[in-house]
Amino acid sequence: MTIQNRKIGFIGAGKMGSALIHGIIKAGIVKPENLGASDIYEPFLNELNSQLGINVSTDNAVIAQASDILVLAVKPQTLDSVLENLKPYINADKLIISIAAGVPLATYENALPEGTRVVRVMPNIAATVSEAASGISPGKNATSEDLKTALEIFSAVGTAVQVPESLMDAVTGLSGSGPAFIFPVIEAMADGAVLEGMDRKSALTLAAQTVLGAAKMALETGLHPGELKDMVTSPAGTTIQGVRVLEEAGIRAAFMNAVIKASERSKELGKK
């Protein structure tokens, strides 16, 4: 492994940062004592320290100085001030990984010392359960080993693929925002079963497992989603009736537009 015995620090321990920290420890690729996190919200840090035994600090500089790999998990709106604060502690020996939505590699390469190695990643919240979908794009100074390191970290918490930076906004709109598009689907499917008389807990369990099973079939069989759909929709059966209702409601256009709008917002964030 390229990250064995290397120290990883997180600048930002909010929902996404915490999800990645939990996922990395669960995967067992880094020991808790080799992980650190900083955040302005001390209760987050105290919880991570007590639950996982990682090193924490409210001072970004403390974590930056102690880390070989620094993961920037802060909101795009606060990034400029964070980079200014970190600049004195960054050198060519450190790998910077950013998961800030919409922020291009050039932002980091211009704000940090010349030659800084940067890799841009867009993961999603499913890192918490080791099922993240992450897009990875290396900067101009990043080495092949840096790319391997990023792929190793994010593959440990799900699936990671390398993409050109020009497609990172699309990754943000698709997999970065995607879980929030699917959760209402699970809830709505369960609502339908509750209306038919099923108890809420059983309905949610079956709905969530149905989505999980469908996704696993798509990944493991390699078949086109349309072909998989046809395997379930027998002539004049129950499923084709449901499919007709979804098509009448414009389900395809709704999901396409959701991904497009989220991608456009990612582009907007990168311009600020």
- Residue 30 labelled as part of a binding site: no
Q: In the chain, count of helices (H) and strands (E)?
A: 12, 8
- For residues 268 and 1, give the distance between their C-alpha atoms in angstroms, rounded to a whole number: 37
Question: If pLDDT is split at 50, 70 and 90, which confidence band does 138 have?
Answer: very high
- Residue 28 labelled as part of a binding site: no
The helix or strand, by DSSP H or E, that contains position 38, with its residue range, turns out to be: strand 35-38
DSSP per position, 224-256: -HHHHHHHH--TT-HHHHHHHHHHHTTHHHHHH
Q: Are 194 and 203 in contact (CB under 8 A)?
A: yes
pLDDT at 53: 94
pLDDT at 88: 95
pLDDT at 15: 87
- Residue 19 labelled as part of a binding site: no
Rounded mean pLDDT, 28-48: 92
Whole-angstrom CA distances from 248 to 196, 238, 253 are 21, 16, 11
pLDDT over 60 at 237, yes or no: yes
Tokens coding 4: 């064995």
Read off the pLDDT of residues 63-122 as tens digits, 9 standing for 90 and up.
Answer: 999 999 999 999 888 999 999 999 999 988 999 999 998 899 999 999 999 999 999 999
CA dihedral 186, 192, 198, 204 (to 10 degrees): 10
DSSP per position, 73-121: -S-GGGHHHHHHHHGGG--TTSEEEE--TT--HHHHHHHSPTT-EEEEE
- Residue 216 labelled as part of a binding site: no
pLDDT at 236: 96
Query: Residue type for 12, please?
Result: G
Q: Are 198 and 215 in contact (CB under 8 A)?
A: no
The helix or strand, by DSSP H or E, that contains position 132, with its residue range, turns out to be: strand 132-138
pLDDT mean across residues, the chain: 94
The number of CA neighbours under 13 Å toward the Cβ of 123 is 34
Domains of the chain, with CATH numbers? 8-167 (3.40.50.720), 178-271 (1.10.3730.10)
The percentage of residues in the chain with a pLDDT greater than 90, rounded to a whole number, is 85
- Residue 17 labelled as part of a binding site: no
- Residue 13 labelled as part of a binding site: yes
Tally of residues, the chain: 272
- Residue 24 labelled as part of a binding site: no
pLDDT at 77: 87
Q: Are 111 and 89 in contact (CB under 8 A)?
A: no
- Residue 14 labelled as part of a binding site: yes
pLDDT over 70 at 270, yes or no: yes
Q: What is the distance between the terminal CA atoms of the chain, rounded to a whole angstrom? A: 37
pLDDT at 2: 66
- Residue 213 labelled as part of a binding site: no
- Residue 180 labelled as part of a binding site: no
Read off the pLDDT of residues 157-187 as tens digits, 9 standing for 90 and up.
Answer: 999 999 999 999 999 999 999 999 999 999 9
- Residue 16 labelled as part of a binding site: yes
DSSP per position, 146-170: HHHHHHHHHHTTEEEEE--GGGHHH
Q: Are 140 and 109 in contact (CB under 8 A)?
A: yes
Q: Are 101 and 126 in contact (CB under 8 A)?
A: no
